[in-house]
Amino acid sequence: MNGPHKSVFFDARKAKAISGKVYKAGFSAALIIVYFHRLNLPVSALKALKNRQDAVNLQQAFTMDIFFYNIFIRLYPVIAFLIAPFNNKARQWLKGRVNLLSIIEQKMAGDAASKVWIHAASLGEFEQGRTVLENIRKQYPHYKIVLTFFSPSGYEAKKNYPLADYVFYMPMDSPYNASKFYDLINPKLILFIKYD
């Protein structure tokens, strides 16, 4: 896609390997891709991370970003919990993440089909990338599509979307959640949709 509508295709196995290399704590590959995008570096530049020193240099370059990201990730559920009695969206966000990995594991049990994972933060990003999803469905009908959302606005509106085989909330980012979610869906291709 050209112009302000940008999406990133990335080989999932390379993403996981590089994610483990760059962030010993196991940050998701999505975070690395966002950083590369902010620097206007092509995703192919990730292949340049050939040794430990390259990984350390990249990690040091984003120390403050990582620090604030970690604070945000830990505070977000707490803030959502505090405002949930007064805010329906916060209630939905919390409810959608109760036993989320167990639910995903149950729904995907025994499904060995090749999968494409498409992530949209909210409904706006989904609408932006809808044509890409539709074309993947047409061109690769044997692939299952796993669609994830961060916000309730996307999930609630599209939880029964007929072109996706699975629709889930995105688990909160943590080393355990990222690894477990990746292992459960085992995608052949990952697509993150940016810019609402």
Tens-place pLDDT, residues 156-173: 999 999 999 999 999 988
Share of the chain above pLDDT 70, in %: 65
Q: Is beta strand 166-169 parallel, antiparallel or unpaired with respect to 6-11?
A: unpaired
Q: Where are the domains of the chain?
A: 1-196
**28 and 178 Cβ atoms separated by less than 8 Å:** yes
| Pairwise CA distance, residues 61 & 42, whole Å | 17
Average pLDDT over residues 68-79: 80
Nearest to 189, CA basis, from 8, 10, 47: 10
pLDDT tens digit string along 130-149? 999 999 999 999 999 999 99
Task: Specify the pLDDT at position 46.
Answer: 52
Give the residue, 79 or 54, on which the prediction is more confident.
79
Q: Can you give the pLDDT at residue 13?
A: 46
The alpha carbon of residue 28 and the mean position of all alpha carbons in its chain are separated, in whole angstroms, by 8
Q: Which pLDDT value is given to residue 107?
A: 95
Q: How far is CA 56 from CA 21, 51, 69, 142, in A?
A: 9, 9, 18, 39
Mean pLDDT of the chain: 75
Residue 100 carries which side chain, given as an amino acid letter?
A: L
Reported as a pLDDT band with limits 50, 70 and 90, residue 3 is very low
Compute CA 33 distance to the chain's CA centroid, rounded to the nearest angstrom. 10
* Cα angle 83-84-89, degrees, rounded to a multiple of 5: 105
Cβ-contact 24, 179 below 8 angstroms: no
Contact 152, 158 (CB under 8 A): no
CATH 3.40.50 fits 1-196, yes or no: yes
* pTM of full prediction above 0.75: no
